[in-house]
Each structure stands twice: as C-alpha cells, then as structure tokens.
C-alpha cells in the first residue's frame, strides 16, 4: 500500500495551486519560502574578520626620518672642495646617463663599467650602486646583485641617503633571493624594504613570496612513509581509546600525505568518538572529495549522521555509497548499515503521529521544495490513486531521486 501523507491528512495536493506571484501557502503546509525555511543566514550575524595584519610594520613617518643631506655643493664647510666636487658630480651624472643608455640597449657589461666608474668618480650618490645592481639582476648574476645592494645600503646609511633609495636596494635584494629560490631571505628583505618605505609593488611581492613559501613548505613536508607511520600511531591510540591523541597522529598523517583519503577518514572516526560531529562530517567529505569511490568514507559519514539522528540524510548517504560502489565490494556492509538505519527510522516514526512526521519532513527545505512543485504534486496525486503510475514515473531518474527523498523523509509510506 502506498500512502502520501499530505493526502492522508486531507490536504488536496492537486488543489494546492497558488495564484501567480502569490506567496501564500495553503493551510497545514509550512511556508517553504527561504524567509522562514532552513537555517538563518549566518552572514548577517557573523563578525567581520579583523583587517588582515601585515607582517611589515608601518614605515616611520617621513618627518621622523633622517632627511637626505642637502647636496654637498651647498655646504659652506666644504667651500674649498666645492669646485672639484661639483665637477666630479657632473662627470658622474654623465657616466650614469651613458650607463642608462647602455642598459636600455642591453649592453650590460658596458653599463656595468659606466656605473662603476660613476660611483668611483663621485661616491656620494648610491643610485649609481642601485643602478649597478639592476644590471646584475638583469644579467641573472643574482649574487653580485645582492652584494651590490648590500653595499648600497651600507653606504646609503653613512651618507644618510633618502630612505626610498634604501628601500629600493632592499626590495631588489628580495627579488634576487626570490630568483635564487631562497624564499626565506626574499621575505626578509621585502619586509626590510617595506619598513623603509611602503610601496604596493613590494607589498605584492612579499605576499607572493609568503604564499610560495607556504606552498613549498607544504610540499617539502610530504612523505608517504612518515604518513603511514603516523597513521599507524593513530590507529594504536584509537584502539587504546585515546581519541585525542589519535586525532593528533591522523592530522600529522594528513599533512605528510594530503592526497590519501584514509587519513581524513580515520580522523573522522576519532572525531566521532570525541563527539565532534561537524568535524567528523567535514573529514568524511574531504575523503570523499579526494576519492569519490572510497566507500568507507560514505559509511563513516552515514554513521555520524545516524548518531546525530539525521536518519533520512544518513540513508541518502548510503544510497550514494551504493551508487558509487561500482565494483560492488561493499554491498553487504552498506546494506547492513542501511537496514539498521531504516529500522531506527521506523521506530522513530512509529512514536510520532503522521502529522509530526509530515511537519518534521517539511522542515527540510529540499523536501518542502519538492512538495511545492505542482508537477510533483500531480504525480503524487496520481500515484495515490494508482500505485503503478508511481512505478512509471520512477523510470525518470530526476523524478525517482525526488520520490526517493520523499520516501526517506517519511512523506511517502510504502507498506
Ligand atoms: C638608475 O637610477 C635612476 C634613478 O636615479 C632610475 O631612474 C633609472 O631607471 C635607473 N636605471 C637602472 C638601469 O636601474
Ligand atoms: C550502525 C551499523 O550498522 N554499523 C555497521 C555498519 O557496517 C560495519 C561493517 O559491516 C559494521 O562494523 C558497523 O557495525
């Protein structure tokens, strides 16, 4: 016998049509509209995350910093040297200009000679050194680049050069270390650069280097043998009833081999024992995501859902397991679990009235949606009169899925 609860309760399913655009719900049917259904949106009450902290401290305000010295030509104390000093400066600027031209023409060795000469003639402007470091960088000679930048910083401090120039030298060191794949030093020098003078360009480079380092660290940690050892330690702790330790060992196993679904599934079992059900579900889902044919993860998930009395969802999880168990290796296991859940489901329903079952089922937004679909209501109404109609409709997989959902939820009773 087939019973559709709506009909049983005197709700005329075929007469549930609503006028176009009406949100009104027929009496006895909980409003399936999102305003009242399902969980309230979490975003409204969710606290805003704190602004992301930046690892580099804010630069010292400009006014607190040593100013670049006034050009020596303006310095009265140096009157005697004024003439030769000014001449040297002009000559150096000329060499630098020629260096820039050579650099643009990619005549790097020529540019190096010119910038070195400029610094030799007038060792008071560290941009000759930062220019020089740029050529080494472009040539791919990163060690020389770093060495030159170090010198630029050192001389620049003595000369009380503009902090922007110092920042540039540090930034270029960061880029050179990055090219050498020394991400730790790249991060260090990008940070130093930002301390001198904050620019979006270096900030982006720092973030990228930090990301690359985190990924490199993650990769470097992968070790299947150590993963297996950690998993075994986890299993031993689990058997000994020390589930918190088991979680720790399984977490290590996951870090050592994140592509192995067993680590996640084992940890799900340990979380279950600790009654951390959301974590258990999350880990079972992670295992399923890694390997959709890993049937043990579905069973683990279903057992957790069963433990939280989400019996009809547990049943759905096992139905999905059957579908994915293409090699039919777990048929018995799935069926045993399934029949236990079904028995429990029947026991639960035998203690509640049809009305309670109906109300509880309709709290699931998916069920409410199916019941609000005029086409589905027509099918249910037909089937109520002629159970063979249901069998015909079940041939359509889309409809079969919805009907299965209603059976699981207890809306359709088959006896
Ligand atoms: C040299 O330094 C100047 C700033 O003084 C800069 O404009 C120029 O782009 C630099 N050239 C190279 C090759 O780094
Ligand atoms: C609740 C339940 O039925 N659990 C069983 C599911 O299947 C496995 C494997 O057959 C059993 O070990 C569980 O006891």
- Look at residue 89 and tell me whether its pLDDT is greater than 60: yes
Q: In ligand 1, which atom is closest to the CA atom of 130?
A: 14
CATH 1.25.40.10 maps onto the chain at 86-215
Average pLDDT, the chain: 85
CB of 333 shorter than 6 A to ligand 2: yes
pLDDT in tens, 317-364: 999 999 999 888 999 999 999 999 999 988 888 888 888 888 888 988
* Segment 241-259 mean pLDDT: 97
Q: What is the pLDDT of residues 168-206, one digit of tens each?
A: 999 999 999 999 999 999 999 999 999 999 999 999 999
Tens digit of pLDDT for each residue in 156-168? 999 999 999 999 9
What is the SS3 assignment for 412? strand
Report domain 365-415's class: mainly alpha
Is 397 or 284 the better-scoring residue by pLDDT? 284
CA 415 – CA 413 distance, rounded (Å): 6
Neighbours of 164 (CB within 10 A): 11
Instruction: Give the DSSP letter string of 300-368.
Output: HHHHHHHHTT-HHHHHHHHHHHHHH-TT-SSHHHHHHHHHHHHHHHHHHHHTS-HHHHHHHHHTSHHHH
Residues 6+ apart with CB under 8 A from 311: 305, 341, 344, 345, 348
Instruction: List where CATH 1.10.260.100 sits in the chain.
Output: 365-415
pLDDT for residue 4: 73
Residues contacting residue 307 through CB under 8 Å, at least 6 positions apart: 272, 277
Q: Which CATH class is domain 86-215?
A: mainly alpha
Q: What is the mean pLDDT of residues 368-390?
A: 88
Q: Supply the pLDDT for residue 2.
A: 62
pLDDT in tens, 101-135: 999 999 999 999 999 999 999 999 999 999 999 99
pLDDT value, residue 83: 83
**Is the whole-model pTM more than 0.85?**
no
Atom of ligand 1 nearest to the CA of 135: 13
Mutate to test the pocket of ligand 2, among 273, 298, 303 (most ligand atoms within 8 A of CB): 303
Residue list, ligand 1 pocket, CB within 6 Å = 100, 103, 127, 131, 134
């Amino acid at each position: 016998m087939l019973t559709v609860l709506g009909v049983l309760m005197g709700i005329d399913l075929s007469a549930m049509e609503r006028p176009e655009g009406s949100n009104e719900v027929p009496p006895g049917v909980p409003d399936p509209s999102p305003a009242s259904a399902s969980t309230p949106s979490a975003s409204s009450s969710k606290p805003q995350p704190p602004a992301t902290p930046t690892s580099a401290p804010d630069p010292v305000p400009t006014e607190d910093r040593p100013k670049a010295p006034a050009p020596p030509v303006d310095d009265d104390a140096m009157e005697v040297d004024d003439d030769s000093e000014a001449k040297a400066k002009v000559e150096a600027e000329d060499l630098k200009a020629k260096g820039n031209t050579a650099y643009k023409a990619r005549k790097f060795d020529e540019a190096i000679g010119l910038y070195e000469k400029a610094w030799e003639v007038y060792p008071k402007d560290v941009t000759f050194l930062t220019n020089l470091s740029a050529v080494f960088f472009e040539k791919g000679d990163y060690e020389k680049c770093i060495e030159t930048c170090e010198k630029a910083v050192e001389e620049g401090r003595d000369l009380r050069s503009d902090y922007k120039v110092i920042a540039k030298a540090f930034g270029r060191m960061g880029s050179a270390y990055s090219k050498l794949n020394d991400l730790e030093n790249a991060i260090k020098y990008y940070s130093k650069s930002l301390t001198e003078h904050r620019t979006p360009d270096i900030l982006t480079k720092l973030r990228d280097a930090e990301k690359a380092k985190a990924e490199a660290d993650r990769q470097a940690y992968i070790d299947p043998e150590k993963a297996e050892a950690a998993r075994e330690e986890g299993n031993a702790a689990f058997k000994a009833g020390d589930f918190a330790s088991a979680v720790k060992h399984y977490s290590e196993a996951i870090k050592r081999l994140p592509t192995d679904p067993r680590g996640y599934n084992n940890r799900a079992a340990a979380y279950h024992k600790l009654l951390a059900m959301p974590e258990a579900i999350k880990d079972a889902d992670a295992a399923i995501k890694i390997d959709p044919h890993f049937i043990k993860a579905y069973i683990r998930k279903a057992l957790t859902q069963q433990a939280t009395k989400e019996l009809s969802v547990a049943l759905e999880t096992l139905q999905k397991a059957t579908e994915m168990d293409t090699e039919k290796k777990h048929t018995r296991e799935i069926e045993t679990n399934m029949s236990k859940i079904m028995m429990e489901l029947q026991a639960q329903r035998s203690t509640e009235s049809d009305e309670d079952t109906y109300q509880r089922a309709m709290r699931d937004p998916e069920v409410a949606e199916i019941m609000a679909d005029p086409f589905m209501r027509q099918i249910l109404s037909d089937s109520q009169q002629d159970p063979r109609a249901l069998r015909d409709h079940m041939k359509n997989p889309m409809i079969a899925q919805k009907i299965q959902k209603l059976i699981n939820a207890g809306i359709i009773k088959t006896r």
